[in-house]
């Protein structure tokens, strides 16, 4: 039976997510679920900041789980689920199941844990390459397997017992000659001759297989019971019984158990392809993180694998997207930033509007779809607009953003002034955070003419707090730049109340570039940008334009 994966689409914002990125992903996933009835899941590509954590907690919404990459994994594949078989199952029953289900490999399991694999090749080996008449004992074959394989009836003895010693012999000769080759504990295949049956019992055989449904006398049965000898009656002739009996051997004797090529649900498909290309197997067992057998992955299914499906919100640049985005199938992009360099395999729904916040666009889409915005979602969307527009102080803010925020605030039942103050205080609480956490809590990377540069932003309502973290950040910036593989790194330290930004610079010519871009004097030591509070509308356009014209 195939374990088909239901359609699942991840809605995700950019790395180092801000409140808009997280809240828009949650609200849009909620909208898509209501419109389509399918499974859309909000995710995050990084850690949430203090402001966002405050908003989610206030409106009692769980933090989306982390999706650190969208590389294709085994768990994204259509895994063929096959119930495992017991190691005690006979070769004959295993073969019958393979024919019924049209499969070539069976998993041998115990308590859902994989013990080994039995293949058609292993079964062929049991037929064609076994010349040992002790093999039934060596394989510890259970008597009930023998009874079932021979279509027989148990006349005496315990079917749950095991044939542990002796060999398999056919008593086709007279009793006098039988004494020369029958030994203690042997399994003897014979016919309806009373004398032969009696001789086998007296030779202390462990099991008698009586062929062609021959009658068994009360005396023989009584003697067998007294000596704990198993008697099996089969309708088959001696030749057929002898040919079939090896098929009663348990599969665990022939199964492959060592050096198996096993994959786990979290393994990446690229790795799986590489391993598959170097082996001759066609079916590969899949285990979960607890070692439970989940099914098989075949070469054919691997070649027809379907990529992870994602919707991107609040960004459209590869450098800002979750790792592995080039391997994913991007279905939609909802954004309010400049167009970046993200390429898609096919056409996608791309909605980009010159507004101050992605949440404003999401609110419009609720209205266009005729879906009511619940107070909880309204609270998230309103918070995102307040955050991105700095409560309408940012030059990126439009009348559309303000109207949307006011409408959402009424639905959520919040006072925007008070809520904004609480949000910004939560977001600007930098105490106890490492310099790395502060530097990258709101950080984006850009690429212009092969120049990679990053711009982070710290916002606070307290200048003393900004001054304190500045002293800690300056010595760290060079390390941060090298860690991110950037040519230049800029850090905006924005005072919300004063509506100004002090800019920290790192990298070769980083300071000179920004001084020229903003047409500031070359001897400027402290770069203070009055009225600059928006990275998107006031910082990035100036830098990008300058670098493009160089």
**pLDDT tens digit string along 143-201?**
999 999 999 999 999 999 999 998 998 886 677 677 777 889 999 999 888 888 988 89
Q: Residue 153: how many CB atoms within 10 A of its CB?
A: 14
The rounded distance, in Å, linking the Cα atoms of 142 and 273 is 41
Domain boundaries, the chain: 7-72+308-427, 107-253, 435-549
Mean pLDDT over 537-549 rounds to 91
Q: What's the pLDDT score for residue 293?
A: 93
Backbone angles phi, psi at 190, to 5 degrees: -150, 180
The two three-digit tokens of residue 546, written as one number: 């300058």
CA distance readout (Å), 455 to 156, 254, 517: 85, 62, 15
Residue carrying the six token digits 């768990």? 75
Mean pLDDT over 475-501 rounds to 93
The rounded distance, in Å, linking the Cα atoms of 114 and 137 is 25
Q: What's the pLDDT score for residue 300?
A: 74
The two three-digit tokens of residue 40, written as one number: 């859309």
Q: What's the pLDDT score for residue 6?
A: 62
Backbone angles phi, psi at 489, to 5 degrees: -135, 130
For 388, the 3-state DSSP assignment is helix
Q: Where are the alpha helices (DSSP H) in 227-374?
A: 238-244, 251-254, 269-276, 299-303, 358-369
Mean pLDDT over 108-128 rounds to 86
Backbone angles phi, psi at 434, to 5 degrees: -75, 165
The per-residue pLDDT for range 71-96, each reduced to its tens digit, is: 888 888 888 888 999 999 999 999 99
- Please check the confidence at residue 402 and state whether its pLDDT lies above 50: yes
- Please check the confidence at residue 431 and state whether its pLDDT lies above 70: no
Domain 435-549 is of which CATH architecture?
A: Roll (3.10)
Residues 6+ apart with CB under 8 A from 505: 488, 489, 490, 511, 514, 527
Task: Rank 38-42, 127-131, 298-302 by mean pLDDT and report only the highest.
Answer: 38-42
- Please check the confidence at residue 1 and state whether its pLDDT lies above 60: no
- Band of pLDDT at residue 125, cut at 50, 70 and 90: confident
Residues 6+ apart with CB under 8 A from 417: 391
Backbone angles phi, psi at 504, to 5 degrees: -95, 140
The rounded distance, in Å, linking the Cα atoms of 26 and 148 is 58
- Please check the confidence at residue 429 and state whether its pLDDT lies above 70: no
The residue among 187, 183, 195 whose CA lies nearest residue 169 is 187
Q: How many residues does the chain have?
A: 550
The rounded distance, in Å, linking the Cα atoms of 206 and 222 is 15
The rounded distance, in Å, linking the Cα atoms of 376 and 60 is 8
> Model-level pTM?
0.65
Q: Which of 58-62, 377-381, 400-404, 494-498 has the lowest mean pLDDT?
A: 494-498
Assigned CATH topology for domain 7-72+308-427: inorganic pyrophosphatase (n-terminal core) (3.90.1640)
- Please check the confidence at residue 485 and state whether its pLDDT lies above 50: yes
| β-pair type (113-119, 187-190) | unpaired
End-to-end CA distance of the chain: 62
Q: What's the pLDDT score for residue 281?
A: 76
Q: What's the pLDDT score for residue 359?
A: 97
The per-residue pLDDT for range 249-276, each reduced to its tens digit, is: 999 998 888 888 889 998 888 888 888 8
Sheet holding 293-298, edge to edge: 2-3, 79-80, 293-298, 283-287, 263-264
Q: What's the pLDDT score for residue 217?
A: 92
Per CATH, the homologous superfamily of domain 107-253 is: HprK N-terminal domain-like (3.40.1390.20)
The per-residue pLDDT for range 336-386, each reduced to its tens digit, is: 988 877 778 778 899 999 999 999 999 999 999 999 999 999 999 999 999
Q: Which of 121-125, 389-393, 483-487 has the lowest mean pLDDT?
A: 121-125
């Amino acid at each position: 039976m195939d374990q088909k994966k239901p359609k699942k689409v991840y809605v995700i914002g950019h790395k180092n997510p801000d409140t808009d990125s997280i809240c828009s992903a949650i609200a849009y996933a909620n909208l898509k679920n209501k419109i389509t009835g399918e499974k859309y899941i909000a995710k995050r590509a990084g850690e949430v900041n203090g402001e966002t954590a405050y908003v989610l907690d206030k409106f009692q919404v769980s933090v989306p789980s982390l999706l650190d990459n969208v590389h294709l994994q085994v768990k994204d594949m259509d895994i063929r689920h096959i119930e495992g078989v017991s190691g005690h199952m006979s070769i004959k029953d295993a073969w019958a199941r393979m024919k019924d289900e049209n499969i070539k490999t069976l998993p041998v399991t115990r308590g859902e844990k994989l013990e080994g694999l039995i293949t058609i090749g292993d079964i062929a080996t049991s037929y064609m390459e076994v010349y040992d008449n002790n093999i039934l004992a060596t394989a510890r074959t259970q008597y009930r397997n023998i009874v079932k394989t021979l279509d027989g009836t148990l006349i005496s003895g315990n079917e749950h017992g095991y044939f542990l010693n002796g060999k398999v012999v056919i008593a086709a000769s007279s009793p006098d000659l039988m004494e020369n080759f029958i030994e203690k504990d042997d399994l003897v295949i014979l016919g309806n001759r009373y004398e032969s049956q009696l001789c086998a019992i007296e030779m202390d055989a462990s099991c008698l297989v009586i062929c062609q449904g021959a009658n068994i006398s009360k005396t023989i049965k009584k003697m067998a019971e007294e000596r704990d000898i198993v008697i099996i009656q089969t309708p088959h002739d001696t030749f057929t019984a002898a040919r079939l009996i090896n098929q009663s051997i348990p599969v665990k004797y022939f199964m492959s158990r060592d050096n198996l090529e096993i994959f786990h649900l979290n393994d990446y498909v690229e790795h799986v392809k590489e391993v598959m290309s170097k082996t001759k197997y066609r079916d590969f067992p899949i285990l979960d993180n607890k070692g439970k057998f989940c099914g098989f992955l075949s070469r054919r299914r691997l070649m027809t694998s379907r990529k992870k499906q994602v919707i991107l919100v609040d960004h459209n640049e590869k450098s800002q997207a979750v790792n592995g985005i080039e391997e994913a199938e991007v279905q939609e992009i909802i954004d309010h930033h400049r167009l970046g360099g993200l390429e898609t395999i096919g056409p996608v729904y791309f909605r980009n509007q010159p507004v101050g916040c992605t949440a404003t666009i999401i609110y419009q889409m609720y209205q266009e779809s005729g879906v009511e915005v619940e107070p909880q979602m309204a609270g998230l969307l309103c918070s995102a607009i307040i955050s991105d527009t700095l409560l309408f102080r940012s030059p990126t803010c439009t009348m559309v953003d303000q109207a949307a925020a006011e409408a959402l605030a009424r639905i959520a039942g919040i006072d925007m002034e008070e809520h904004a103050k609480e949000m910004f205080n939560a977001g600007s609480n930098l105490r106890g955070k490492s310099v790395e956490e502060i530097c990258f809590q709101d950080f984006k990377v850009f690429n212009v003419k092969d120049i990679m540069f990053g711009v982070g932003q710290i916002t606070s309502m307290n200048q003393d707090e900004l001054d304190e973290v500045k002293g800690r950040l300056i010595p760290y910036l060079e390390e941060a730049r090298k860690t991110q593989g950037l040519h230049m790194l800029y850090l905006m330290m924005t005072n919300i109340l004063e509506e100004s930004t002090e800019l920290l610079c790192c990298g070769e010519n980083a300071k000179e570039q920004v001084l020229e871009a903003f047409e500031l004097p070359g001897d400027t030591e402290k770069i203070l940008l009055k009225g600059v509070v928006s990275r998107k509308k006031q910082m990035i356009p100036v830098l990008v334009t300058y670098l493009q014209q160089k």
